[in-house]
Structure 1
Amino acid sequence: MSTKQSLAHRLYTGDVSYDFVGKRKLWYAVSAVIVALCVLTIAIRGLNLSIDFTGGSEFTVPTQVTSTSIDDYRKAAQDSGVADLGDIKVNTIGDNQVRVQVRALSAEEITTMTAKLAEKAGVPTEEVTNNLIGPYWGQQITQQGLIALVVFLALVALMIALYFRNWKMSVAALVALLHDLILTVGTYALLQFSFTPATLIGVLSILGYSLYDTVVVFDKVRDNTADLPKQNRTFGQLVNLAVNQVLVRSINTTVIGVLPVAAILFAGVFILGTGPLKDLGLAMFVGMIAGAYSSLFLAAPMFAQMKQREPEIQAHDKRVAKRASKAPREAAAGEATPVQVTTGTPLVTRAGDAPIDPAALGAVRPQDLGPRQQPRHTTRADRRNDTR
């Protein structure tokens, strides 16, 4: 058996246990600091919204598409002399067109940009077309995305409450989902990656992954807390055991899921430089890691804390604590059981031993007597020998 398998087995059986529930205040504090930093970053720096949300200018250039067309026309736009173009989006349309999207330009800036792109393509300026993109389409996408988010959260809360028959699990799961959303959006504000419709799709996609991880943890919690009165552990200990039992599975699932997403992000950032891979990759990468963290460190401890306020759970925990405190005393009493000797009862010793006064002896433990002073049952033959 490998070391990893051995660790997984020890975590599952409880031989090794990390105190997720007992240290929940630490995890709450860490998460609160991260969320506060993300909200502060969004408020100060804001999101780098793409022209799909803010509006902008779009240029279509007729040219033969090659493997370097995207990089060539991005560099041409940067060298046009127009300042503060923002995130330049360049993509190809078929084999004979290149589309360049920048911020909204004035009439003079449009003329300058058109001339530069036509010079790069080697065509007359009349063949380079430009369009003004309004923010209306982006607003529609944002509105539909928010509606989808609200509907998704409502259905998630209802599904978890019905499946587990416990609304407190729904509350814990929703808090974990909101944590993942804020962390992902805050990362975009910090790095100033362009927030595009592809980003919005990625943000909505990670909610499903985070929910899956949380449901796995809650399913194990339900198994461990079944027939609670018969359990010899407190409710918090049973929840903590469940988190440890799914810990290795959660780590493996996250690593396997993050690796291909990391490849997509690398290709979008360092190879393509722009496009939907870059926008989608960062949201998936950050969201999947945040989802695994919130399921283990936030959702389960928060559910345990809410349940521990119930009178039935408190009564069970007190019974378990009482049994645990009585066990050491009973064990110690069993190891040192005194032998009561009644006054006047003859205590027979072996020949050569000094006589023992029962009145002075009182309660004697067998281990306190010498090897030749241990009490024994007397027979008639013994008494005849002693008389002699």
Structure 2
Amino acid sequence: MSKLGNLGARLYRGEVGYDFVGKRKIWYAVSILITITAIVGLAVRGLNMGIEFEGGAVFNTPKTSVSVAKAEESAEKASGHDAIVQKLGDDAMRIQIAGVDIDKSDQIKAALAKDLDVKAADINADLVGPSWGEQIANKAWQGLAIFMVLVVIYLAIAFEWRMALAALIALIHDITITVGVYALVGFEVTPGTVIGLLTILGYSLYDTVVVFDSLKEQSKDLTKQTRFTYSEVANRSINGTLVRSINTTVVALLPVAGLLFIGGGVLGAGMLNDISLSLFVGLAAGAYSSIFIATPLVADFKEREPQLKALKKRVLAKRAAAAAKGESAEGPQSADSENSDDSDGYDGYGDEGPQDSASGDAAPAAVVGPRTQPASRGRGRGRPSGKRR
């Protein structure tokens, strides 16, 4: 654990890091491949919509010794439609039949009572009309659309429209993957699924906003210096919040995994699958999109601006000139040069170029951003001699 804490501190200070933004084309390709797979699964298999959306009947039976397979066969024979049977904890059963004519409910109830060897009066029947199910579906889509609009407005006000657009693309990416997994797995889509989707979208935004806030802070007055491009600053923001994102995602996934695999799989509480699968897939997809999609997209959008495009040219030209002279990309550092024009008055990233903490040599390409120095090392700055006292 101490090693993980050490790594987190070094990532935050910029001593080590991974070039997420520089390798963004790889992440884009992976995301496109996953999204296409999800869309194909959705088109081929479709969604297994619950009766709340399609209409139908749910029959809750008392304790019975009849097997699930036998109950399913009996329900399909009596109704003429596919049936979903779930075993409950006290050997009771929940029999769900979609698309059933409400007028046939009494007939189906009587047939089930005979085949399951229970009294018809003890079977509880809940009926959902198709028009009501359609209203529920429309309300779900309206709620999702309103959520998206509010998110874009908030991010555009709090940050800027480019970040809002990147966050929206990441959210659509998360929804598509989650819905595609539901189609491929065949789990039933219920109002619980919609609640799970809205929950994971909020969680995904939380992670994204944390990175955006760090990026906004670190990119202030960026064009006044010639040491770092916007993409490098964006990459530093991702690395600085990486361990936090991983920790919060793992902590959130553990209880959801318990609901999905133990509650739904081992204990057979199938109703937990409705919400737990959307939470599990959505949380993982949200953490992925926050790191690999949203911030790299912002970097792509921002570096199309004339000012930041010109900044990138200046930074690369300066590094090429330094390399031609046999110097490091940041140039030699000394007490006299720390206040020279090379820093351009921009000290948001420390006073040294990208270095390895052990050797002081130039860091590898994956390390972006310099090492932040302890406060004691800057005490002599601003004095004519540059000496510390």
What's the TM-score bracket when you normalise by the shorter of the two chains?
Answer: 0.7 to 0.9
Alpha-carbon contact 1:82-1:112 (below 8 Å) kept: no
Please state if 1:114 is matched with 2:110: yes
Aligned pairs for 1:232-381 (under 5 A) are 232-330=227-325
Aligned pairs for 1:155-170 (under 5 A) are 155-164=150-159, 166-170=160-164
How far 1:323 sits from its partner (Å)? Answer: 2.2
CA-to-aligned-CA distance 1:193-217 (integer Å, 9 cap, x gap): 0111111111111110011111011
Aligned counterparts of 2:124 and 2:168: Cα–Cα separation in 1 = 47
Partner SS state of residue 59, structure 2: strand
TM-score (structure 2 length as normaliser):
0.75
CA-to-aligned-CA distance 1:40-69 (integer Å, 9 cap, x gap): 1101100011122222233354x4x6xxx6
Alpha-carbon contact 1:89-1:100 (below 8 Å) kept: yes
1:141/1:132 CA distance change after superposition, 3 Å: closer
Q: What one-letter code is carried by the residue in structure 2 that aligns with 1:149?
A: L
Higher mean displacement: 321-330 or 108-117: 108-117
Aligned counterparts of 2:104 and 2:58: Cα–Cα separation in 1 = 15
Aligned counterparts of 1:312 and 1:127: Cα–Cα separation in 2 = 74
Alpha-carbon contact 2:83-2:96 (below 8 Å) kept: no
How far 1:230 sits from its partner (Å)? Answer: 3.0
How far 1:236 sits from its partner (Å)? Answer: 0.8
Aligned counterparts of 1:287 and 1:275: Cα–Cα separation in 2 = 19
Gaps of 5+ in 2: 333-389
1:197/1:89 CA distance change after superposition, 3 Å: farther
Aligned counterparts of 2:7 and 2:125: Cα–Cα separation in 1 = 62
Partner SS state of residue 309, structure 1: coil
1:118/1:272 CA distance change after superposition, 3 Å: farther
Alpha-carbon contact 1:267-1:277 (below 8 Å) kept: no
Q: What is the aligned partner in structure 2 of residue 342 from structure 1? A: none
Q: What one-letter code is carried by the residue in structure 2 that aligns with 1:120?
A: L
Q: What one-letter code is carried by the residue in structure 2 that aligns with 1:33?
A: L
Please state if 1:187 is matched with 2:181: yes
Higher mean displacement: 183-192 or 26-35: 26-35
Relative contact order, CA 8 A, sep 6+: which one is greater?
2
Q: What one-letter code is carried by the residue in structure 2 that aligns with 1:289?
A: A
Please state if 1:178 is matched with 2:172: yes
Alpha-carbon contact 2:55-2:100 (below 8 Å) kept: no
Higher mean displacement: 10-19 or 290-299: 10-19
1:140/1:104 CA distance change after superposition, 3 Å: closer
Partner SS state of residue 57, structure 2: strand
CA-to-aligned-CA distance 1:104-145 (integer Å, 9 cap, x gap): 45789974663343453542x466565653222221121111
Aligned counterparts of 2:190 and 2:234: Cα–Cα separation in 1 = 40
Aligned counterparts of 1:23 and 1:201: Cα–Cα separation in 2 = 34
Alignment coverage as a number of residue pairs: 324
Partner SS state of residue 87, structure 1: strand
How far 1:271 sits from its partner (Å)? Answer: 3.8
Larger radius of gyration: 1
How far 1:328 sits from its partner (Å)? Answer: 3.8
CA-to-aligned-CA distance 1:287-312 (integer Å, 9 cap, x gap): 00000000110000000001101110
Q: What is the aligned partner in structure 2 of residue 88 from structure 1? A: 85
Q: What is the aligned partner in structure 1 of residue 134 from structure 2? A: 139
TM-score (structure 1 length as normaliser):
0.75
How far 1:99 sits from its partner (Å)? Answer: 5.3
Higher mean displacement: 258-267 or 72-81: 72-81
Aligned counterparts of 1:139 and 1:267: Cα–Cα separation in 2 = 33
How far 1:155 sits from its partner (Å)? Answer: 0.9
Alpha-carbon contact 2:85-2:93 (below 8 Å) kept: no
Alpha-carbon contact 1:176-1:294 (below 8 Å) kept: yes
Q: What is the aligned partner in structure 2 of residue 16 from structure 1? A: 16
CA-to-aligned-CA distance 1:14-53 (integer Å, 9 cap, x gap): 2322111111111111111111111111011000111222
Q: What is the aligned partner in structure 2 of residue 44 from structure 1? A: 44
RMSD (Å), alpha carbons: 3.0
Aligned counterparts of 2:148 and 2:205: Cα–Cα separation in 1 = 10
Q: Percent identity?
A: 42
Q: What is the aligned partner in structure 1 of residue 143 from structure 2? A: 148
Gaps of 5+ in 1: 336-388
Alpha-carbon contact 1:89-1:102 (below 8 Å) kept: no
Partner SS state of residue 76, structure 2: coil
